[in-house]
Amino acid sequence: EYDNEDPNYGLEYEFTVDEVRSIIESNCGITLSDDVDNWFEMQDVYSGMYIGYVRFDGQKTVTARTMQELFGLKSQAFTIEIGDGKILFKSYGWGHGVGMSQWGACKYADHGYTYDQILRHYYLNTTISLSKKSGKAIERGKAYNTPVQEEPEQENEVEEDSSAESSESLQQ
C-alpha cells in the first residue's frame, strides 16, 4: 500500500530501439530479429511485477539481475513498453524483491503500523514470538526492574590534615 511512496518507485529509463539492440547483442552474443515486440518475454514473474528471467527474442534467457545491469535499472520489478522507436523500462523500488522494502516499512510506520504488523505484511504467514532463549533473557531482565534496596549511608571519614597534605604536594 505504501511501497509506491518510495522515491525509486516508477523510475523511467528510455532508450532507442537501436540502443537496446546494441546493448543486448554486444553483451549477450545474439542477433535480434527486426520484430521488436518479440524481443522480451518475461518469465517467472512473482509478487506482482518482480521478474525472474527475460528471454530475448526466443534465443537467450537472462536473469532479472542481468537486466538491471544491462539497462541500469534499480529493481528487478520492472515493466517494458515499446513504441515510436523507443523502449521504456519502468522500475519499481530498489532491490531484488526478497524481503522487506525499507521505504515501505518506514512509510507503514509513519502511518501508525506497529513493527509486528509491518513484518507480517512483508513476510506472509509468519508468526512472531519469543524463542526459549529470548524468554530466558526476559526473565533475567526482570531482575533489573526490581526495586533497588538502599544501602546504609557510610560516613565520609576523610581527615582534613591528610587532604591538606595532598593539596600541598600537588602544588609543589
40-to-17, 101, 159 alpha-carbon distances in Å: 12, 27, 90
The dihedrals phi and psi of 54, each to the nearest 5 degrees, come to: -130, 130
**Grid coordinates of 120:** 507480517
Q: Is the dihedral of CA 15, 18, 22, 28 positive or negative?
A: positive
Cα 111 to Cα 171: distance, rounded to the nearest angstrom = 63
pLDDT for 169 equals 40
pLDDT for 8 equals 79
pLDDT in tens, the chain (172 residues): 667 777 878 889 999 999 999 999 999 999 999 999 999 999 998 777 789 999 999 999 999 999 999 999 998 889 999 999 999 999 987 766 666 778 888 888 999 999 888 888 888 888 877 777 766 666 666 665 555 455 555 555 444 444 444 334 444 4
pLDDT for 71 equals 97
pLDDT for 92 equals 86
Which residue in 55, 57, 64, 70 sits closest to 20, CA to CA? 70
Contact 78, 90 (CB under 8 A): yes
Cα 112 to Cα 19: distance, rounded to the nearest angstrom = 45
